Structure 1
């Protein structure tokens, strides 16, 4: 049986229009199995269209992941810390 993991990316709006309204979608990495966590996050980052953003919720300061994102995307992905621990780190990632 294949492993199916829900990424828990909250929708941008309840109406389904794809608009951002007042909240950004959040990807809670704490719910993704460790073995596929970085690959899952890279998939979301890779799919961001210019101007799009999401909030990554991580169980720790994701410095190694941020280095990987910088290696892959250079300055195309801007990162802004929204919350720094202690139970979760929240980072806003935006495709420039």
Structure 2
């Protein structure tokens, strides 16, 4: 069985922009690279690994409404979620601990 390469990219350090606020960059998980049979379980595992003050960004090619519904049922109120990008070709959602 061939091993899948799953892209998880994290840029070291914090980013600064012209807005004057301090921004922390979180690892970004391209979920399209995860086999469908284990995709949601892998994402839930990655979210469970979030430490206080940290977060995770998932990137996909569609609005992951079923995943978000499952997450709300499994862990109501545990995560804050913010859409960083809403299609049409890519969706990026940032999760942090609530």
TM-score (norm 2): 0.80
Could you tell me how far apart the structure 2 residues matched to 1:7 and 1:36 are?
Answer: 12
Matching of residues 21-60 of structure 1 within 5 Å: 21-22=14-15, 23-60=25-62
Partner of 1:9: 8
Partner of 1:16: none
Q: How many residue pairs align between the two structures?
A: 89
Could you tell me how far apart the structure 1 residues matched to 2:94 and 2:74 are?
Answer: 17
Could you tell me how far apart the structure 1 residues matched to 2:86 and 2:51 are?
Answer: 26
Q: 1:12 to 1:95 in 2, by over 3 A?
A: farther
**Rg larger in 1 or in 2?**
2
> Which consecutive residues of structure 1, in runs of 5 or more, have no partner in the other structure?
14-19
**More strand as a share of residues:** 2
Q: 1:73 to 1:50 in 2, by over 3 A?
A: farther
SS of structure 2 residue aligned to 1:75: coil
Q: 1:12 to 1:74 in 2, by over 3 A?
A: farther
RMSD: 1.5
1:94 equivalent to 2:93? Answer: no
TM-score (norm 1): 0.81
- Which consecutive segments of 4 or more residues in structure 1 shift more than 6 A? none
Post-superposition offset of 1:12: 4.3
